[in-house]
Copies of this chain bind each other. A is one copy, B any other.
Amino acid sequence: MNEAYQRLTERFRRVATIGECAAMLNWDSAAVMPAGGAAARADQLALLAGLEHQTLTASEVAADLTGAVVADEWDQANLRLMEHAWRRARAVPEDLVVALAKAASTCEKVWRTAREAADFSIVQPNLVEVVNLTRQTADALSAALGLTPYDALMDGYQPGIGADDVAPIFAAYETFLATALPEAEARQDRRAAPVRPAGPFPLAAQEILCRSVAERLGLDFERARLDQSAHPFSGGTPTDVRITTRYDENDYASAMMAVIHETGHALYEQGLPARYARLPVGQAAGMAMHESQSLIFEMQAARSDAFLGYLGQAYHEMFGGDPAAWRRHNLGRLLRRVERSFIRVEADEMTYPAHVILRFRLERAMIDGQLRVEDLPGAWNDGLTALLGITPPDDARGCLQDIHWYDGAFGYFPSYTLGAMAAAQLMAAARDQLDDLDAALEQGDLAPLLGWLRQNVHAVGSRLSFNEILREATGRPLDPTAFQEHLRVRYLG
């Protein structure tokens, strides 16, 4: 390790520390900030983003990257990631960065009105501008990284995975779904309707239970907080993770499932290699890997028969009522129900990928210039009809439902389903490699699973890529058949 590398590590720690300030202020905005603080907060975050960019692209960086000498594979990976981050940052001219940020910020505001009014035309001109500026950004990144424009955007969320990797996986899933979904529905319809637990479920009691389950999952509240926000998320920093949920007095499950999901994200952050804190190699290995860690808790572990036994008992102790409603098989039928629906965030795990596949195809086509923004609503409705056989009655339940594009996020959607698939693959491997995983889940004991993830995923940081981590942990790179197998067992078995 020489001086050039030393300087780079200091610089990147600085970049990460600026990012930590922003992460905390973002949490604050969503969880506690009064409305009056919004304008000043936007300035604060813009200033930090600018500082991060300047620090990353300072003129000394090029020479240090060339001159850096590293010893072990951690530092090698670190240097490679530093160079990659630097290439991305300097590829896009500052005025384009600012123009896109401004356009997206305006578009996002207009989108709220358009969604409220279920009228795409209101936001169409803004989205046209965002897409145009995003395409220019993608072109600039494409030239610098040697990737297609769309892949260059994907690379910002999940490095190492491109559209050509994803397209066949998604096509195969579409084929699977065409037969699996009707079968699952038929099987579901043959069974008696589940018993609905009778509410209300007081918010304070829900919060106590959510907190205790998060701790049970392994979340260390000396280094984390649980709060409320309009949309659940996980933020903050590895030594101070902030997760949020939202409570509904008539719904015992949604806050809890959000907490379990966000706890999965938080545990990943808390388990990253502390020795490489604030360095690229010490960060999570991309958004698909991050999503795999939330979904392995929310979908794989928490919705397993074994864990639902524990959870049902905890619910019953907290809320009382008809014990039959809280039995594991009843809870399973409530929380593992397939249903063709319009809204992605409410979708079950079998139909969820259809929502992602639709978005992947549409955003790729918009970035490639093959789909015009004005044609989006029609293409959306046609696409959902082809995938799920249902047609949105309006754009609010169609192409206006998600914030992503209107806020300038293109290339992110595939991460959700790649994460779901990786979660199934990791869970299958953990079940193979651990003796008593389901016996532990039965007791609400997540320690064996968490220990396995700590070792095979969390502690790796970004030393290995998404596919390399999967290969080391499971014997093969991303293999979507594990997810199909999981769905077969759970919904068709």
Q: For residue A62, give the distance in angstroms from its CB to the closest CB of chain B.
A: 22
Instruction: Return the contact of A24 from the options B18, B28, B51, B239 (Cβ within 8 A).
Output: B28
Report chain B residues within 8 Å CB of A33: 240
Oligomer: number of copies: 2
A25 within 8 A of B: yes
Majority SS of interface residues in chain A? Answer: helix
Q: For residue A309, give the distance in angstroms from its CB to the closest CB of chain B.
A: 31
Q: For residue A22, give the distance in angstroms from its CB to the closest CB of chain B.
A: 9
Complex contact A222–B21 (CB within 8 A): no
Complex contact A36–B220 (CB within 8 A): yes
A28 closest partner in B (C-beta):
B24
A224 within 8 A of B: yes
Q: For residue A43, give the distance in angstroms from its CB to the closest CB of chain B.
A: 5
A48 within 8 A of B: yes
A20 within 8 A of B: yes
Contact with B along A141-185 (1 / 0, CB 8 A): 000000000000000000000000000000000000000000000
20 contacts between A and B (CB under 8 A): A14-B47, A17-B43, A17-B47, A18-B47, A20-B40, A20-B43, A21-B48, A28-B28, A34-B221, A34-B222, A34-B225, A35-B222, A36-B220, A36-B224, A37-B223, A37-B236, A37-B240, A40-B239, A40-B240, A51-B51
What 11 additional pairs, Cβ within 8 angstroms, besides A17-B44, A34-B223?
A17-B43, A17-B47, A18-B47, A20-B44, A21-B21, A21-B44, A24-B24, A36-B222, A36-B223, A37-B239, A40-B237
User: Which A residues are closer than 8 A to B by beta carbons?
Assistant: 14, 17-18, 20-21, 24-25, 28, 32-37, 39-41, 43-44, 47-48, 51, 220-225, 236-237, 239-240
Report chain B residues within 8 Å CB of A47: 14, 17-18, 21
Report chain B residues within 8 Å CB of A41: 240
Report chain B residues within 8 Å CB of A20: 40, 43-44
Instruction: Return the contact of A239 from the options B21, B36, B220 (Cβ within 8 A).
Output: B36
Q: In the complex, A39→B274 CA distance in Å?
A: 13
A14 closest partner in B (C-beta):
B47
Complex contact A39–B239 (CB within 8 A): yes
Complex contact A21–B25 (CB within 8 A): yes
Complex contact B36–A24 (CB within 8 A): no
Q: For residue A367, give the distance in angstroms from its CB to the closest CB of chain B.
A: 34
Complex contact B237–A34 (CB within 8 A): no
Report chain B residues within 8 Å CB of A37: 223, 236-237, 239-240
Complex contact B32–A225 (CB within 8 A): yes
A39 closest partner in B (C-beta):
B239
Report chain B residues within 8 Å CB of A28: 24, 28
Q: In the complex, A32→B37 CA distance in Å?
A: 18
A37 closest partner in B (C-beta):
B240
Report chain B residues within 8 Å CB of A25: 21, 24-25
Report chain B residues within 8 Å CB of A17: 40, 43-44, 47
A18 closest partner in B (C-beta):
B47
Residue among A24, A39, A48, A237 with the highest chain B CB neighbour number at 10 A: A24
Report chain B residues within 8 Å CB of A14: 47
Q: For residue A342, give the distance in angstroms from its CB to the closest CB of chain B.
A: 35
Residue among A21, A47, A223 with the highest chain B CB neighbour number at 10 A: A21
Q: In the complex, A35→B240 CA distance in Å?
A: 8
Report chain B residues within 8 Å CB of A220: 36
Q: In the complex, A24→B39 CA distance in Å?
A: 14
Q: For residue A299, give the distance in angstroms from its CB to the closest CB of chain B.
A: 27
Given A28-B28, A39-B239, A40-B237, verify A224-B21 contact (CB < 8 Å): no
Q: In the complex, A76→B18 CA distance in Å?
A: 34
A20 closest partner in B (C-beta):
B44
A19 closest partner in B (C-beta):
B44
Report chain B residues within 8 Å CB of A21: 21, 25, 44, 47-48
